[in-house]
Structure 1
Amino acid sequence: MTDQLPTYRRKPARDRFYGWRPAIHHPEPGPGEEFPPGPRAPIAVQSLRTWAARNTYWPKMQERYGDTFTLRVAPVGRIVIVCRPEDVRTAALGSPETFPIGENNLLFEPLVGRGSVLALDGAAHRAARKRMVPPFHGKRIAGVVSTMARLAEEEVAAWPVGSTFPLVECMRRLTLKVIIRVVMGVEDPTRVAEVSAALGRVLDVRTLDLLMWIWPRLTGFGPWRTAIAAMQRADDLLFEEIAGARQDPGRSERPDVLAMLLDGSPDDEQVRVELLTLLLGGHETTAVAAAWMFERLLRHPAALARTREGLDDPDDEYRAAVIKETLRLRQLSYNLGRRLSVPAELGGYHLPAGTFVWPSIAAAHTDRATWGEDATEFRPERWLDPGVPARAFLPFGGGAHRCLGALFAETELEIILRTVLRDVDLRPDRPAAEKPVMRHVVQVPARGARVRVVRRTGR
């Protein structure tokens, strides 16, 4: 394939780090403005605890300083964390003119490139989003359900009976294949494996990798050099797929997202950025959510039994309740990020323009005043109650920047849930629940959601 395709002139992947600078800001409060209290620990300590363990660090800070507190986190600078559900909603769903997202998400630029919808605001964001919305309409997603189901069945069929394995790795493999087939339109198994290997490393951003964001010179050394080489390989493969799709005479009949992104003849770099944005947003989060879904069900036998009862009913509401309850307690993103364009009041504090505000989705999803005394318990039945506080549920963000692939992710999770429970019986490797640990902004099972297939049902 590559012998027939033209070579595109483009910047090396490592140049994206040299062309980017951390958006560190320390706005000073004006008259009547002030920052909430916060810890006095060195910025290095606060940064490490935020990036590596915010799911334990932030609740401790909330208990000590209240629902609104200030941290200093590299490479961003001063950040105000808001935990009260009303303030979380205000920041997440407020006017994009007051609570823009773009500058906060510039952290993604070295990974995906300049011009990602993640880091745009205003007219530029609306134009980019308009281009990327059509592939995720309900009818388009309905057209790829059979592909999702087939890939899920193939994955589950490969699970060994009697062996214990980390379910999260299986789900990462599956969701990446779904994206490569459905989003990129790659069908050849050898090519799928090649693209999966390259993109898998790029999307697996490790804590050590983040040092490149702060010190770009590291891109020439040790593990960072290896990471850059993987990014470069992924770029090369993406450009090859873009070129192949552009030259495909049957492109107008293709159901994949890449074929639609080429409508209007955008340049190849723009399409590469859009593809990586979709890959970044739809791979790790969905895989981890799927792993948590089973980790929770396997430790709640009544909920598991109720889910099994409705497997043959395509309209059973309990499956959606299981998915929502999983996303409530094991958030796709622990927090969102905004930067005030004008002064604003949050949590009883008048904050100056330029302040980075990070609303804690996790705090809003487990607030006892909102969800009740059982707020931290896994109870899917709460979603069958018409009085459930759905307005406090923000798994995909909200407002103008709500996740493009929300329906895609929910559909994929339901297909995975039905396929696994239909084809195999799983058991956890031990009775105790797995603790969540942070992996970037996502909480992952500490031991990978380890399970064992005890039998194949053959249904």
Structure 2
Amino acid sequence: MAPTPLLGSRTLDRQTARTLPPGPKLPTLAQTVLFASHRRTFFPRMLEQYGDVFTIRLVPSSRVCVVLSRPEHIKEVFGSPPAVMHAGEGNTVLEPIMGSHSLLLLDDEDHVRMRKQLMPAFSGAALRGYAGMVHELARAEVAKWPTGTPFKVHHRMRNLTLEIILQVIFGVTDVDRLNTLRPLLDKIVSVSPVIMLGGFYPPLLKVRPWKTFLDTQQQIDEILYDEIARRRETFAGRNDVLSRLLAAGNWSDVELRDQLVTLLLAGHETTATAMAWAFHELARRPEDLAFGQRAADAGADDELEAIVKEALRLHPVVYQVGRRLTETADIAGYRLPRGTTIMAAIGLVHRDGEHFPNPEDFRPQRFLSDDPPAPGTWIPFGGGARRCIGAGFSLMEGTEILRAALTAFDFQAPDPRPEPAQPKNVTLVPRRGAEVTVTRR
């Protein structure tokens, strides 16, 4: 099926432009810079100035993006037929990295088929099977933390989540292979927006630094394809994600490779950042730290998970998710034409005092009360048919990391001030690396 043309400078007529939600008149490039570098302040200003629904324009092609901030409006998007709300079309810039079979790039029947094949590896039973492995890797990591000396916990979390992906998702156990893959994968997960431009301009892929990146990717692919070939012969009885995928689905090697790379890129920085924010907040708040330590000591998973959830609410790692309309549709009281990019602003919903009283406060208990947040107001993993397939894995991972760290250490913040967020590709990370000091309990 041919891709849906973007609604933008080449396809938007004046009459249609007058029917769109209001928005800033700034040049497209200025709006793009504000969105890319300051979305956490840019979107609230637009909300205050233009209301719950507003329009911004971004490169390429001065594309029209309608931003939604109300849960009921976002529910219209997440609840619409996937054939009307394409997400994969908006991710085509990732194809040179993730591959054409990536779940993030697929729409319609292809997306349904691939998601169905992936689901068994992320079922509740499967997640319980991974928890022990994640916990042991987390214990090994926290055992290396320096005591009494400040360190950046975000960096440590990036190391840990990479190790979890290598051993729990990829199922790599050979020491030499692990040592070969770690530095290569670290280069891939650190991909910059400049490299991602190659998805828009393929000729760039033939010159440096894009060619250097692709050379690294090719080295990784050779190892992954060899690992897939070996695993096809030995997956029975193994408990990693790759082995479960092989046991549950009929996969080509390239399909498996694309899903593994997608899980790497989608699950590495996101979980590492969420946990860095969680430790940042606990280190600044003795009462919440004590609450978490009691939960860790008692094996109270709901309480530990509530800490992860509140970190994701207060500091959404991904500030917004997008869809492209494949046909004209009525959304949020507007008739939006085909090709419109719709953005569900997760960050605006999570900071709305109507849904989260005292939204600037870190309060894990709000997820444990008799009146928890209403459905559709906590959406760090998106929603509908495109909700992140790794959401359960991420929450389990966060719970096990907290358990390992909080049973071992007390935490303090060298700088008690709230740490600002800064954009890193599509994520919002702690600007100072979430610096903490730990001492043995």
TM-score, normalization by structure 1: 0.89
Deviation at 1:109, TM superposition (A): 1.7
> Residues of 2 paired with 1:23 and 1:255: CA distance?
43
Correspondence 1:382 to 2:366: yes
Q: Where in structure 2 are the equivalents of 1:75-224 lying within 5 Å?
A: 75=60, 77-224=63-210
Residues 396 and 403, structure 1, Cα contact 8 Å, conserved in 2:
yes
Q: Which SS does the other structure have where 2:216 is aligned?
A: helix
Residues 202 and 234, structure 1, Cα contact 8 Å, conserved in 2:
no
**Equivalent residue number for residue 243 of structure 2:** 259
> Residues of 2 paired with 1:230 and 1:297: CA distance?
38
Superposed CA offset, 1:57-77 (max 9, x none): 222222222222222222372
Aligned partner (choices 17, 25, 29) of residue 40 of structure 1? 25
Q: Which SS does the other structure have where 2:436 is aligned?
A: strand
Q: Which SS does the other structure have where 1:306 is aligned?
A: helix
Deviation at 1:188, TM superposition (A): 2.0
Shift of the 261–309 alpha-carbon distance from structure 1 to 2, 3 Å rule, reads closer
Deviation at 1:47, TM superposition (A): 1.8
> Residues of 1 paired with 2:392 and 2:68: CA distance?
27
Q: CA RMSD in A?
A: 2.3
Superposed CA offset, 1:110-164 (max 9, x none): 2201121112222211110111111111111211222111111111111122322
Where do 5+ consecutive residues of structure 1 fail to align?
Answer: 1-19
Residue type of the partner of 2:266?
Answer: G
Aligned partner (choices 55, 58, 69) of residue 70 of structure 1? 55
Deviation at 1:305, TM superposition (A): 1.3
Q: Which SS does the other structure have where 2:319 is aligned?
A: coil
> Residues of 2 paired with 1:396 and 1:58: CA distance?
19
> Residues of 1 paired with 2:432 and 2:145: CA distance?
18
Residues 88 and 364, structure 1, Cα contact 8 Å, conserved in 2:
no
Residues 33 and 352, structure 1, Cα contact 8 Å, conserved in 2:
no
**Equivalent residue number for residue 231 of structure 1:** 217
**Equivalent residue number for residue 240 of structure 1:** 226
Sequence identity percentage? 37
Correspondence 1:277 to 2:286: no
> Residues of 1 paired with 2:16 and 2:356: CA distance?
38
Residue type of the partner of 2:204?
Answer: L
> Residues of 2 paired with 1:107 and 1:69: CA distance?
25
Residues 165 and 268, structure 2, Cα contact 8 Å, conserved in 1:
yes
**Equivalent residue number for residue 395 of structure 1:** 380
Q: Where in structure 2 are the equivalents of 1:419-434 lying within 5 Å?
A: 419-434=404-419
> Residues of 2 paired with 1:31 and 1:209: CA distance?
35
> Residues of 2 paired with 1:378 and 1:278: CA distance?
29
Deviation at 1:325, TM superposition (A): 0.9
Q: Where in structure 2 are the equivalents of 1:278-357 lying within 5 Å?
A: 278-315=263-300, 317-357=302-342
Q: Which SS does the other structure have where 1:359 is aligned?
A: strand
Residues 151 and 437, structure 2, Cα contact 8 Å, conserved in 1:
yes
> Residues of 1 paired with 2:259 and 2:299: CA distance?
33
Residue type of the partner of 2:113?
Answer: A
Deviation at 1:318, TM superposition (A): 2.3
Aligned partner (choices 435, 439, 445) of residue 424 of structure 2? 439
Residue type of the partner of 2:162?
Answer: L
TM-score, normalization by structure 2: 0.92
Residues 274 and 317, structure 2, Cα contact 8 Å, conserved in 1:
yes
**Equivalent residue number for residue 53 of structure 1:** 38
Superposed CA offset, 1:409-444 (max 9, x none): 111100101111111222222111111111222211
Shift of the 36–147 alpha-carbon distance from structure 1 to 2, 3 Å rule, reads same
> Residues of 2 paired with 1:418 and 1:209: CA distance?
37
Q: Which SS does the other structure have where 2:115 is aligned?
A: helix
Deviation at 1:40, TM superposition (A): 2.5
> Residues of 2 paired with 1:91 and 1:267: CA distance?
32
Shift of the 252–75 alpha-carbon distance from structure 1 to 2, 3 Å rule, reads farther
Residue type of the partner of 2:145?
Answer: W
Residues 92 and 336, structure 1, Cα contact 8 Å, conserved in 2:
no
> Residues of 1 paired with 2:220 and 2:434: CA distance?
28
Q: Which SS does the other structure have where 1:253 is aligned?
A: coil
Superposed CA offset, 1:33-86 (max 9, x none): 821222222222222222222112222222222222222222372211111222
Deviation at 1:170, TM superposition (A): 0.7
Q: Which SS does the other structure have where 2:65 is aligned?
A: strand
Residues 36 and 349, structure 1, Cα contact 8 Å, conserved in 2:
yes
> Residues of 1 paired with 2:320 and 2:348: CA distance?
9
Residue type of the partner of 2:203?
Answer: R
Paired residue total: 434
**Equivalent residue number for residue 253 of structure 2:** 268
Shift of the 171–21 alpha-carbon distance from structure 1 to 2, 3 Å rule, reads farther
Q: Which SS does the other structure have where 1:143 is aligned?
A: helix
> Residues of 2 paired with 1:28 and 1:135: CA distance?
43
> Residues of 1 paired with 2:74 and 2:263: CA distance?
25
Superposed CA offset, 1:322-341 (max 9, x none): 11111111113211111112
Where do 5+ consecutive residues of structure 2 fail to align?
Answer: none
Residues 88 and 361, structure 1, Cα contact 8 Å, conserved in 2:
no
Deviation at 1:22, TM superposition (A): 11
Residue type of the partner of 1:301?
Answer: P
> Residues of 2 paired with 1:221 and 1:22: CA distance?
30
